[in-house]
Structure 1
Amino acid sequence: MDIRNIAIIAHVDHGKTTLVDNILKSSKIFRENQESGDLIMDSNDLERERGITIFSKNAAVTYKDVKINVIDTPGHADFGGEVERVLKMADGVILLVDAFEGPMPQTRFVLQKALGLNLKPIVVINKVDKDNCRPDEVHDAVFELFFNLDATEEQLEFPTFYGSGKQGWFNDSLTPTDNIEPLMEGILKYVPAPKVSEGTLQLQVTSLDYSSFLGRIAIGKVTRGSIKENQPFSLVQADGTIKKQRVKELYVFEGMGKRKVTEVLAGDLCAVVGVEGFNIGDTIADFENPEALPIISVDEPTMNMMFSINNSPFFGKDGKFVTSRHLRDRLIKETEKNLALRVRDTDSADSFLVYGRGILHLGVLIETMRREGYELTVGQPQVLVKEIDGKKCEPYEILVIDVPEEFASKAIDLVSRRKGEMILMETKGEMQHIEFEIPSRGLIGLRTNMLTATAGEAVMAHRFSEYKPWKGSIPGRNNGVLLSKEAGETTGYSLDKLQDRGFFYVDPGEAVYAGMIIGENNKPGDLVVNPNEGKKLTNHRASGSDAATSIAPKTLMTLEECMEYIQHDECIEVTPNFIRMRKVVLDENERNKLAKQMKAQDA
């Protein structure tokens, strides 16, 4: 059977998953009366809630007797590791670009990886139905991007399609049609059939699936030979060890699901059941003469966080998995499929250092764990510092901000305070497009401040650039926090009296404990307050003092906002139903002692 393997790559929110929806609907894999919904491939709860793709997924459609394997990839820079490994399965890529925004940081990152693997690109300029779109300028910008990334002559002659995923049409000109057939024809015409070399079986595991019935399932592309049901094979691992095993079942992708088969030939993607103890990057090879494929290399993590057991007074009240053994097993299991993640043991048996690509990457892991019933404490995110040529170096990122003109000066001021340097500023329609080079540390906590300063209008994106010399100290949070003095339930009476001190993260009637952060102070420096005090009930009434209390509702913080908010002496308690911020040392006297010791050491 004729096959095409294609990955869809783009910056976040440029319409990858909507394009996959259109491909699935155009190939009639749903019945006429079947309700398919939108963003069909974003099946995970977290993906649907956030409206982003986190995990890459496979689907397969048949068009004019040609099987097209489609790989949907994430667009966030934090999930770049996910994109890097699945590109190994593709022979061509559809580079999707927004007709207004043009190429963005993540577009550059994933395109560079695709061109490096010599994949054939097709450029699709999406959202041409939007007001103030500029498809011709964007086409020129994409060509310039290809040129800057040292694309070959052949890659520079990329075909371009225009259209609107929302309206369900794509064409090789700006003339609207009523379907996406021109694009499907383009895939058949421009994407090469898989290159198949002669020889014995080779299949690199580039992804994995899990089934409660079948266990872990290895997914990859058969690059050489063929694989059959019940066939013995050798599993060649990264360190060179070879395990002899046997295939139990074989599946190929069909529509949104999988179909069981007895043999898969070179060039097709398949799922293999019965492979034990494999990792992503291992090679399933011939039983007699195993030959390994090159190991998948993934960029290094740039950030780490301390994960510990929950040791707050509310330990064990909410979660199902609370011990360090539970925590360690879950983190090790995550590293099997999350290639950009690393886990290291620390001096304490209860704490582990987890390395990741960014706040969102680690935040999604924590959010997934709390939904599974885990209780844990996480510390402030830290960037990874390296020594290069005897100099202390830290990771830098290219930060791109699109902001209305009247807020441009505020955006530049905010980034400059965090040691960012402006490298480009240009006008895009009604927006100012500004690019900075900024230490990764400077990005922590920047998004919230930026959205506040620009009335929510700023669009930010960033990608890792390189390690450069340390830039000195970067100012953190300006204000201190309000801390609870003792355990108990907050009262409306007490919170009402404290409102002039700051704003709160708790409502009346919530359980708190000593050392827990219950609000933000209006001034620098932390303040210990008593939010649990009730009104003294005497038989004397002061006139007018019994008026109803009017308390501002609590400020809600997402997990990522909490991660960006906390300082080095604070941490976040995460349980299935609560996210609480607290001091690492809960006792006020102990905290003061430690602070004095630290001052003495500095002096």
Structure 2
Amino acid sequence: MARTLNLGILAHVDAGKTSLTERLLHAAGAIDAVGSVDAGSTQTDTLDLERRRGITIRSAVASFAVGDVTVNLIDTPGHPDFVAEVERALGVLDGAVLVVSAVEGVQAQTRVLARALRRSGVPTVVFVNKVDRAGARADLALDDAALDDLPFVPLGAAEGAGTRAATWRAGLDGDRALDAVADHDDAVLAEYVRTGAVDEGRLRAALAALSRRGLLHAVLGGSAVTGAGVDDLLAALPELLPSADGDPDGPLSGRVFKVERGPAGERVASVRLWSGTLRERDRVGDDKVTAVRVVHRGAAVERAEAHAGQVAQVWGLAGVRVGDDLGAPHGTDGFRFSPPVLETVVVADEPGERAALHAALTQLAEQDPLIGLRLDDAGDAALSLYGEVQKEVVGATLAEEFGVAVSFRETTTFHVERPVGVGEAAERMGADGNPFNATVGLRVEPGPEGSGVRFRLGIEPGSLTLAFRRAVEETVVATLGQGLAGWQVTDCTVVLTESGYVPPPPYGWSIWSSSASDFRRLTPLVLMAALRRAGTTVLEPLHTLTLDAPADTLAAVLPLLAREDAVPLSTVTRGRRVVVEGEVPAAHLHRLHQQLPGATRGEGVLESRFARYRPVRGEVPRRRRRDGDPLHREEYLRSVGRQA
């Protein structure tokens, strides 16, 4: 029976993973010529911007065969600004190749990716690339990577490293392999104790089994440019990494990891199936599948159905978003990268293109749900981002794909607000100042950290119609996008404490009857009055940091951390290196990254990860609000067309 391996290739930017993808496709016979990143002729970098800049921005799927195994290869971005694309890919992989440069070695993003693979439970093979480049080290000390202390087992060695003629000589280091395997395989250990030796074939089989379980990393190497070692890697993939499993006759279970637009503007969802079969004309929620293509041996081929283990492109799912499960959810959400903590405002250069800008940004947000889009009635839009490169890509995409030229305001740090107490407010029909045919009472309560926004009823369920109840709940969530200081409000519970409406007369609707619009327009006034009585605190994002630097630079590193409001929590010396762990405000991370090379002779490596929010120290930052501010009653009522 044919097998499928859904494989990810991950690396720090410029480690050569897109070049390796090209070389693998060529070695497997899927393409006739090897594309070049520099020439912009690669198979997986399909966006003009990707080809021009030589970086991967969106995940792409290619396919090839190794014997009876179909490998669906997912080429992911390496730049930290596009880490959301990597996150989505991790959730659908069977195995991964982590590419490390033999010249630069293990870099900050390499470690972030390796730990993410470990936490996600994705079995991984390491490929040491660029052995032909000047400065390449044949004895790359992968143990120094400290990737969760997993053992590395080289399956060969580089010869002539640092020269164009460099090659990869395959071979098993028996002693090192035995040490690594015996720690996990009691049968191998017992055989060694009993006989004093373990057959190489037996040892290789045990090593492969442990690699497929993610308990150790096999290391291969070579050059994606010259092709050295690539055939060995290609042959080893089915042996060292697990194939997809799943019952095609079982219940449907799949996950959307990418959403694109087809030539006619239709949504096309890329789906990994773990169980069941997805057929043309099947109903998924409220949508019906209109077409299915299966990624198979070099191309997306139109099929009547897709089975468990396969990656499919699906048409007809109009309401689907990245991250949605089709059918039964698969496992747990697993590891998640840090949320974006930066925000910028994007403005159309031509005022007449505001509507086109909003439509384009809405479409981009469909493709990347971590682009936190906040539309502004004044014609502006705020975007949540990971970094400046991502901002440049958004601007270029808007200009090239949508024909909308834009400018960006200064990037700022994204804050949040949390209620500090309990606040209640109510507006009743017929009372002075309430021009709406609705009664709404709300109570705002602080919630546990990380709980988001919760809505619950404090009234009898039958005392308010479902349509009106939904109108209140949806409006509560939307209104809390801007708190007292303009930031998103989180970690709170909102309770509906009072309600009232005018039912339609027996003979039909009248102008005096209540409508959902009455509840939608009244709710913001009540909610913000309750929030004002509860009070909020503004919080800033805080990251944990791990700084690895030469020990003799510690005297320069500690003052640098102090200047950027970072707090060292531990300092450990490991030989000639020192590792400082601590916390730093996200707003200071960019400057810290810029100044670190100067303080550490370019040898310092800084890793950071979102940890939590903490109350802002000093002056509280405020965020410009949209029009129709319910904190200002008269202005708000004018904006919604009602006078008290």
TM-score range relative to shorter protein: 0.5 to 0.7
Instruction: Please state if 1:201 is matched with 2:278.
Output: no
State the distance in 2 between where 1:91 and 1:272 align.
Answer: 21
Q: Where do residues 441-452 of structure 1 align in structure 2 (5 Å cutoff)?
A: 441-444=587-590
User: How far, CA to CA, are the matches of 1:426 and 1:132 in structure 2?
Assistant: 27
Q: What residue is the counterpart of 1:66 in the other structure?
A: 69
Separation in 1 of the partners of 2:122 and 2:69? Answer: 19
Question: Of 110, 113, 117, which residue of structure 2 is paired with 1:110?
Answer: 113
2:21 counterpart of 1:20: yes
SS in 1 for 2:118: helix
The match for 1:160 among 219, 228, 244 is 219
Point out the more displaced range, 457-466 or 364-373.
457-466
Query: Which amino acid is 1:251 matched to?
Result: V
Aligned with residue 466 of structure 1, among 591, 604, 611 = 611
Deviation of 1:136 after TM superposition, in Å, equals 4.4
- Quick one: which of 330, 340, 357 aligns to 2:386? 357
Paired letter, 1:341: I
| Aligned residues of 1:322 and 1:374 also touching (Cα < 8 A) | no
Please, which of 245, 254, 263 is the counterpart of residue 212 of structure 1?
263
Deviation at 1:421, TM superposition (A): 6.0
Deviations 1:533-557 (A, max 9, x none): xxxxxxxxxxxxxxxxxxxxxxxxx
Residues 303, 138 of structure 1: alpha-carbon distance in 2 compared, 3 angstrom cutoff: same
Cα separation, 2, equivalents of 1:432 and 1:168: 37
Q: Is the 8 A contact 1:79 1:357 kept in 2?
A: yes
What secondary structure sits across from 1:271 in the alignment? Answer: strand
With the length of structure 2 as denominator, give the TM-score of the two structures.
Answer: 0.59
**Is contact 2:26–2:34 with CA below 8 Å preserved after alignment?**
no
From 307, 326, 329, the equivalent of 1:284 is 326
**Helix, strand or coil for the counterpart of 1:259?**
strand
* Pick aligned residue for 2:148 from 135, 145, 156: 145
Paired residues for 1:332-347 under 5 Å: 332-346=362-376
Q: CA deviation at 1:374?
A: 1.8
1:264 Cα deviation (Å)?
2.4
- Give 1:187 shift: 0.5
Could you tell me which residue of structure 1 aligns to residue 339 of structure 2? 301
Indicate which of 541, 544, 559 corresponds to 1:394.
541
Deviation for aligned residue 1:210: 2.4
Contact 1:78-1:361 at 8 Å conserved across structures: yes
1:379 and 1:204 mapped to 2: Cα distance? 36
**2:308 matched to 1:266?**
yes
- Letter in structure 1 aligned against 2:119: G
Secondary structure of 1:335's counterpart equals helix
What pairs with 1:573-592 in structure 2 (closer than 5 Å)? none
User: 2:288 aligns to what SS in structure 1?
Assistant: strand
Trace 1:530-545 onto structure 2 (pairs within 5 A): none
1:53 to 53, 56, 80: 56
The CA distance in 1 between the partners of 2:582 and 2:272, in whole Å, is: 39
Is the 2:343–2:414 contact (alpha carbons within 8 Å) kept by the matching residues of 1?
no
8 Å Cα contact 1:102/1:141 also seen in 2 = no
Would you say the 8 A contact 1:105–1:463 is kept in 2? no
Equivalent in the alignment of 2:490: none
State the secondary structure of the residue aligned to 1:164. Answer: coil
CA deviation vs aligned residue, 1:514-534 (integer Å, no higher than 9, x gap): xxxxxxxxxxxxxxxxxxxxx
Residues 14 and 60 (structure 1 numbering): CA distance in 2 closer, same or farther, change over 3 Å? same
Say if 1:183 and 1:299 are closer, same or farther in 2 by CA, change over 3 A: closer
Contact 1:283–1:292, Cα closer than 8 Å, also in 2:
yes
1:243 matched to 2:389: no
Indicate the residue corresponding to 1:189 in structure 2: 239
Partners of 2:595 and 2:99 lie apart in 1 by 30
Which residue number in structure 2 is paired with residue 522 of structure 1?
none
TM-superposition CA deviations, 1:392-414 (whole Å, max 9, x none) = 443326376889x9x99888766
Contact 1:77 1:463 in 2 (8 A): no
Task: Tell me how far apart the structure 2 counterparts of residues 130 and 399 of structure 1 sit (CA, whole Å).
Answer: 30
Distance 1:207 1:137, change over 3 A: same
Judging changes above 3 Å, is the alpha-carbon distance between structure 1 residues 206 and 124 closer, same or farther for their aligned structure 2 residues? same
User: Could you say what secondary structure the match of 1:89 adopts?
Assistant: coil
1:488 corresponds to:
none
Tell me by how many angstroms 1:185 deviates: 1.8
Aligned length: 438
Kept after mapping to 1: 8 A contact 2:544/2:581? no
Tell me, yes or no, if the aligned pair for 2:339 and 2:610 is still in contact at 8 Å: no
Q: Distance in 2 between matches of 1:292 and 1:281?
A: 11
d(CA) in 2 for partners of 1:166, 1:352? 43
The CA deviation string for residues 257-282 of structure 1, in whole angstroms up to 9 with x for no partner, is 42222332211111112222211122
Cα distance, 1:426–1:367 mapped onto 2, change above 3 Å: farther
Letter in 1 for 2:565: K
Structure 1 residue 306 displacement after superposition: 4.2
Mean Cα deviation higher: 83-92 or 419-428: 419-428
Residue pair 2:71, 2:297 contacting (<8 A) in 1 also = no
The one-letter code sitting in structure 2 at the alignment partner of 1:351 is D
CA distance in 1: counterparts of 2:538 and 2:287, whole angstroms: 47
Q: Is the 8 A contact 2:345 2:410 kept in 1?
A: no
Take 1:206 and 1:280, find their aligned partners in 2: how far apart are those partners?
Answer: 5
Give RMSD over aligned pairs. Answer: 4.1
Aligned equivalent of 2:454: none
Q: Taking structure 1 as reference, are residues 248 and 434 closer, same or farther at Cα in structure 2, changes over 3 Å only?
A: same
Task: Choose the corresponding residue for 1:325, options 342, 345, 355.
Answer: 355
The range that moved more, 183-192 or 291-300, is 291-300
Aligned partners of 2:128 and 2:222 also within 8 Å: yes
User: Does the aligned pair in 1 maintain the 2:539–2:616 contact within 8 Å?
Assistant: no
Superposed CA offset, 1:198-253 (max 9, x none): 5133222111232214722111112112223x33222xxxxxxx314133343324
In 2, the alpha carbon distance for the partners of 1:188 and 1:88 equals: 20
Partners of 1:111 and 1:442 lie apart in 2 by 25
Q: Is the 8 A contact 2:274 2:330 kept in 1?
A: no
Q: What is the rounded CA distance, in whole Å, between the counterparts of 1:79 and 1:56 in structure 2? A: 10
Contact 1:214–1:273, Cα closer than 8 Å, also in 2? no
Which region of structure 1 is more displaced relative to structure 2, 299-308 or 266-275?
299-308
Q: Offset of 1:42 from its aligned partner?
A: 2.2
Secondary structure of 2:217 counterpart: coil
- Could you state the TM-score of these two structures normalised by the residue count of structure 1? 0.62
Between the aligned partners of 2:103 and 2:145, the Cα distance in structure 1 is 12
CA contact 2:571–2:578 (8 Å) conserved in 1: no
